[in-house]
Structure 1
Amino acid sequence: MKLGIDRGSLVAWDPDGEEWVVVGEPWNHDLPAFLADGEEAVRKAERTFTNPERVSGRAPSGLPFTPASLRAFALWESHMINGAKGMVAAFGSPGVRRLVRGFEAVTGRVPPPLRPRANYYREPQFYMGNHRSVLPDEAEVAWPSFAQVLDFELELGVVIAREARDCTPAEGLAAIGGFVVMNDWTARDLQWDDTRRGTFGGVVKAKTFAGAMSAVVVTADEVLPRWRELTGRVLVNGEVWAQSSTASPLHDLGAAVAYAARGESVGPGEVLSSGTLPGCCGLEMRRFPRPGDEVRLELELGAGKPVTVTNTLGARPRRATQARHTEVARRK
């Protein structure tokens, strides 16, 4: 079931009546509370569709709920490797780029520094994102003063609906209530600098200035059985830049929840972001959006139209820091 918030009311999409219907009164119009009731809530909302006194709503807008926290995973190895190659191609010195090409030509392998480290293969790794900077659909992304090169990342957002702690992967799956589309906006030039020189790596300021979430949430019963078969794409100013799918993740979503809940609690309203679908960021294409560009991310989460999140990039501040090597990072 597709859900969202319309002027403070929880609405659900009625595919037969082809309209949004207000369904949220039993849950005080709180979307995470609806998700916590699982399939029972879905059945109750479906009964509202056939009620002659039902109230029609409008398409959801704004954030469907305020995220309680944000954990960003990286479930696709190919994105990690190709993203690292993209970093070198966009920002590395000519000597570093020649070294990488030479190693691959001679050995037929990816240079070890461009592969994820050992823990990545043992357990689903994540970093804590900034849940307070998550923007709604249609919002403008303010270009941060410290960056010259911004990038999008198409990700599947997992909404936790029930508390979990020290759980099994199966129990982790049971804690999932719904799914959203996420855009993990990233300042690539700062990420390059912090990856090489930063104390905590490249996921600090480069990642915390902005993210974005779709206005529509799709319940877990529709997505979990086929979460490895979802298709998505990225459009910039209406032009398709990338298409991909959620096939072949390194770790399952249940394992991701279980790892997040190891020795600590995760609860309703917390979001786990899957990591970038392979090929669905500018870094992998060596192609970056510019100020004023409209970036639309789509995922086929449920029946009918895809769930989307769209943002427009604001103007680059005049005092934006001129990072090293940005002349090779311009969009091709």
Structure 2
Amino acid sequence: MRFVSFRSGADEARLGVLEESRIHVLHPGSTLLGLLGDDGERLHEAGAAALRDPYDVLDLDETRLLPAVPAPPTVRDFMTFERHVEGTAKLAGPDGRVPAEWYEFPTFYFTNPYAVIGPHDDVPVPPGCTLFDLELEVAAVIGREGRDVRAEDAAGHIAGFCLLNDWSARDLQLTEMQIRLGPAKGKDTSLSLGGVFVTADELAPHRSGTAYDLEMTATINGEVLGTDKWSSMHFSYEEMVAHASRGTVVRPGDVLGSGTSGGGCLAELWGREGFDAHAPLGPGDVVTIAVEGLDSMTSRIVAYSDRGR
């Protein structure tokens, strides 16, 4: 199933099941987070009930989609695409290589859940940033709590997936990470979550290796920046859940980003071809990220002073 959180006019946020271009609305008070917590049965039952007997039915274009998970408790962002790591490593010099340690486990950092914005929200250039960048990712959403989850059991803890764009102030990030701590302000202003949450069973027919045999594409102002296969992840989401939960707890609604796909950001291009290969993002630019069979999301870049207008 495909769930959306949305607003229609001045109405409060609602939850619905998306079928083609129509939203079958669940009863007031229903939230995605409120339907998580088990093996997915409650979510699917609520969705099936909405398809049979909806509280309302709306056209998608009558609504404004909100983040698929409007208020995630935590956001962990991983780095699982080898081609991306290889390209960005060259920012340190032409001989930059993927660190041997990267292959040992799926590493991540915690990013700011308060920075989460929706798929139609404008994205401000962070204060002081002159090298603004996008990151094409797919996030898994935890559906069931777990501690010390084994990779072979982790699929039952993943409720579904949504798009994620981890906007990056590369100049701030590169500077602060010289201190061996971070990223921090380089990743602190905006994080776009797609508006469509797709349950894991919906994607099961496309499973291939670590992920799914579906095309990922990033464009800037209508020009393709790069493409990759979702299945080219070096680590699986199950391995990510296992690593994230080791010695601690993952809880319903927690977001686990895949990290940037190959070709899914400017930093990778800059690492391979130099900073003259493409201008950084700036006000007026329009960025679209898309994953076949999942969702697409288009964002307009604005000056920080124009945010929220």
Query: Among 201, 214, 221, which residue is 2:201 paired with?
Result: 221
The residue type equivalent to 1:63 in the other structure is P
Equivalent residues of 2:226, 2:262 under 8 A apart: no
Describe the shift of the 1:193–1:162 C-alpha distance in structure 2 as closer, same or farther (beyond 3 A): same
Q: Deviations over 1:113-142 (max 9, x none)?
A: 532241x21111111111111111121222
Map of 1:161 onto structure 2: 143
Map of 1:61 onto structure 2: 65
Map of 1:5 onto structure 2: 5
SS in 2 for 1:275: coil
Describe the shift of the 1:316–1:19 C-alpha distance in structure 2 as closer, same or farther (beyond 3 A): closer
Equivalent residues of 2:121, 2:299 under 8 A apart: yes
Q: Deviations over 1:87-136 (max 9, x none)?
A: 24xxxxxxxx5xx3xxxxxxxxxx3x532241x21111111111111111
Q: CA–CA distance in 2 between the matches of 1:50 and 1:315?
A: 45
Q: Return the offset for 1:153.
A: 0.5
The reply to whether residue 84 of structure 1 matches residue 84 of structure 2 is: no
Q: CA–CA distance in 2 between the matches of 1:272 and 1:266?
A: 10
Query: Among 13, 19, 23, which residue is 2:22 paired with?
Result: 19
Q: Deviations over 1:60-87 (max 9, x none)?
A: 51223211101010111121011122x2
SS in 1 for 2:303: coil
Give the structure-1-normalised TM-score.
0.78
The residue type equivalent to 2:125 in the other structure is W
The residue type equivalent to 1:57 in the other structure is L
The residue type equivalent to 1:142 in the other structure is P
Q: CA–CA distance in 2 between the matches of 1:24 and 1:48?
A: 8
Q: CA–CA distance in 1 between the matches of 2:229 and 2:27?
A: 32
Map of 2:299 onto structure 1: 311
The CA RMSD over aligned residues, in Å, is 2.1
| Count of aligned positions | 283
Describe the shift of the 1:123–1:115 C-alpha distance in structure 2 as closer, same or farther (beyond 3 A): same
Equivalent residues of 2:6, 2:65 under 8 A apart: yes
The residue type equivalent to 1:186 in the other structure is S
Map of 2:275 onto structure 1: none
Map of 1:75 onto structure 2: 80
Query: Among 34, 46, 49, which residue is 2:48 paired with?
Result: 46
The residue type equivalent to 2:65 in the other structure is S
SS in 2 for 1:277: coil
Map of 1:211 onto structure 2: 191
Give the structure-2-normalised TM-score.
0.84
Q: Return the offset for 1:45.
A: 2.3
The residue type equivalent to 1:168 in the other structure is R
The residue type equivalent to 1:79 in the other structure is H
Q: Return the offset for 1:169.
A: 0.9
Question: Unaligned 5+ residue runs, structure 1?
Answer: 89-96, 101-110, 318-332
Q: CA–CA distance in 2 between the matches of 1:274 and 1:3?
A: 20
Larger Rg computed on CA atoms: 1
Question: Unaligned 5+ residue runs, structure 2?
Answer: 8-12, 271-277
SS in 2 for 1:148: coil
Describe the shift of the 1:6–1:210 C-alpha distance in structure 2 as closer, same or farther (beyond 3 A): closer
The reply to whether residue 33 of structure 1 matches residue 15 of structure 2 is: no
Q: Deviations over 1:130-166 (max 9, x none)?
A: 1111111121222122210100000011111110101
Equivalent residues of 1:228, 1:246 under 8 A apart: yes
Describe the shift of the 1:300–1:39 C-alpha distance in structure 2 as closer, same or farther (beyond 3 A): farther
The residue type equivalent to 1:289 in the other structure is L
Q: CA–CA distance in 2 between the matches of 1:159 and 1:301?
A: 17
Q: Return the offset for 1:239.
A: 2.5
SS in 1 for 2:290: strand
Map of 2:285 onto structure 1: 293
Q: Deviations over 1:235-259 (max 9, x none)?
A: 2222322222112322111111011
Q: CA–CA distance in 1 between the matches of 2:114 and 2:67?
A: 12
The reply to whether residue 198 of structure 1 matches residue 179 of structure 2 is: yes
Q: CA–CA distance in 1 between the matches of 2:46 and 2:120?
A: 31
Describe the shift of the 1:49–1:172 C-alpha distance in structure 2 as closer, same or farther (beyond 3 A): same
